[in-house]
Amino acid sequence: MTTVLIVEDHPTNRDIIGRRLGKRGYTIRFAVDGLSAIDSVQEIQPDIILMDIGLGDGIDGCETTRRIKQIPEVAHIPVIALTASAFETDRQNALSAGCTDFDTKPIDLGRLLGKMNQALHVQAVS
C-alpha cells in the first residue's frame, strides 16, 4: 500500500485531497506546516509527498522540500508541489527546491494520479 503525506495548511483542501486519494486505496497521512512535515517524513517515511507550496505559517513548501532533501534517509522520496498559482516562476522555484513535479489547484485527480504514478515509477527504477 502506497503511503502519501499531504502537507497542506488549508483544512478543506486536506480533506478533499485525502478523501479522494483514500478512496483509491492510498494510505493518507497529513502535516499542516513545514516543520511538522519534516518530522512526519522522518517518522513515517511515506512513499510520496504532496506539498502545498504556499504554506501560511512558518516555512513555505519550497523551503520545507529543501530541508527534506538534505536528510539522506528521506531525500529519495518524491515530492509533488501543489499550488493555486500557475506562474512558470512558481513551477521553477518548486523544481529548484527539489520537487519532482508540480501541479495546480484545484486538483484534477486524473492528472495528479498520473504525476504520482510517474514519480513513484521513476523512484522504483532508480
Q: What's the CATH number where 51 sits?
A: 3.40.50.2300
Q: How far apart are CA 20 and CA 31, in angstroms?
A: 17
- Summarised one tens digit per residue, pLDDT across range 10-68 is 999 999 999 999 999 999 999 999 999 999 999 999 999 999 999 977 899 999 999 99
Tally the domains of the chain.
1
Q: pTM for the whole thing?
A: 0.95
pLDDT of 125 > 80? The answer is no
**For residue 74, what are the domain limits?**
3-125
Q: Which of 26, 33, 124, 116 is nearest to 79 (CA)?
A: 116
- Summarised one tens digit per residue, pLDDT across range 70-121 is 999 999 999 999 998 878 899 999 999 999 999 999 999 999 999 999 999 8
Strand partners, 50: 6, 80
